[in-house]
């Protein structure tokens, strides 16, 4: 099972800044059914003006929204719904290893939850793109989408970034398929192949 996700936060410190918005799009292999979890989150801290300029998210939008602790059980239910007990869940994000995974882990840790207890693995499309397209000069999400003729949506909002991320992931898989001759449906339905390709 694959979950594409994106976080908007109050800043770039992965241990101290807080999530202001989260979007997860769960892709259930074989039948391509999708399930979406999206919500604004009250970070219980100030949102710097420079962050508001980038994301468009300000205090008035999150003041009456739930905190991460309040949505964490609902998020875990969403993540594990439709997954068998021994199934690995793959979380895909752009700059996952350097940011999103660390932010998500620290938020769960403050909630008293160690994500290492779960059968989760993380795929970073930044690393995936660098390995697949070493000739590219820019590797941020928007630039990659532009270079690969993927529609660019409203960047720096969680839902739009997650949709672009998903499109980027499948575009890269198509390139891997053409270069390796691995059937595309095998790559799509076996994310461990993509994980092993990167790591």
The domains of the chain are located at 2-198
For 78, the token pair is 């969403």
H helix intervals, the chain:
49-55, 59-62, 68-80, 101-110, 125-132, 141-147, 158-180, 184-189, 191-198
Residue 32: what pLDDT? 63
Per-residue pLDDT, 133 = 97
pLDDT at 29: 64
Distance, in Å, from the CA atom of 56 to the CA atom of 3, rounded to the nearest integer, reads 25
Domain covering 2-198, topology = Nucleotidyltransferase; domain 5 (3.30.420)
Among 63, 62, 3, which Cα is nearest to 29's?
3
The pLDDT value recorded for residue 31 is 61
Instruction: Give pLDDT, residue 85.
Output: 85
What is the spatial distance between Cα 23 and Cα 161, in angstroms, rounded to a whole number? 9
Q: Which long-range contacts (CB under 8 A, 24 or more apart) does 178-182 make?
A: 179/132
Cα(83)–Cα(103) distance, integer angstroms: 23
Return the ∠ at Cα 125 (arms to 28 and 74), rounded to 5°. 45
pTM of the model: 0.95
73: its two tokens: 């059980």
Per-residue H/E/C for 146-174 = HHCCCCCCCCCCHHHHHHHHHHHHHHHHH
- pLDDT block averages, 10 residues each, the chain of length 199: 96 95 87 87 96 95 98 97 90 97 97 96 98 96 95 87 96 96 93 96
């Amino acid at each position: 099972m694959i979950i594409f996700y994106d976080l908007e936060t109050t800043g770039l410190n992965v241990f101290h800044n807080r999530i202001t918005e989260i979007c997860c799009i769960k892709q259930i292999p074989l039948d391509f059914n999708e399930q979406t979890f999206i919500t604004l989150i009250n970070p219980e801290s100030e949102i710097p003006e420079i962050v508001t300029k980038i994301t468009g998210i300000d205090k008035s939008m999150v003041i009456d929204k739930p905190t991460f602790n309040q949505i964490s059980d609902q998020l875990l239910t969403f993540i594990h719904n439709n997954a068998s007990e021994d199934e690995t869940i793959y979380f895909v994000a752009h700059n996952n290893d350097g940011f999103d995974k660390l932010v998500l882990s620290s938020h769960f840790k403050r909630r008293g939850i160690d994500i290492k207890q779960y059968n989760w693995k993380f795929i970073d499309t930044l690393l995936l793109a660098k390995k697949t397209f070493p000739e590219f000069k820019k590797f941020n999400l928007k630039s990659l989408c532009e270079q690969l003729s993927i529609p660019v949506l409203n960047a720096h909002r969680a839902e739009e970034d997650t949709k672009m991320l998903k499109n980027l992931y499948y575009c890269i898989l198509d390139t891997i398929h053409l270069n390796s001759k691995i059937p595309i449906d095998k790559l799509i339905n076996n994310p461990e192949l993509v994980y092993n390709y990167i790591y």
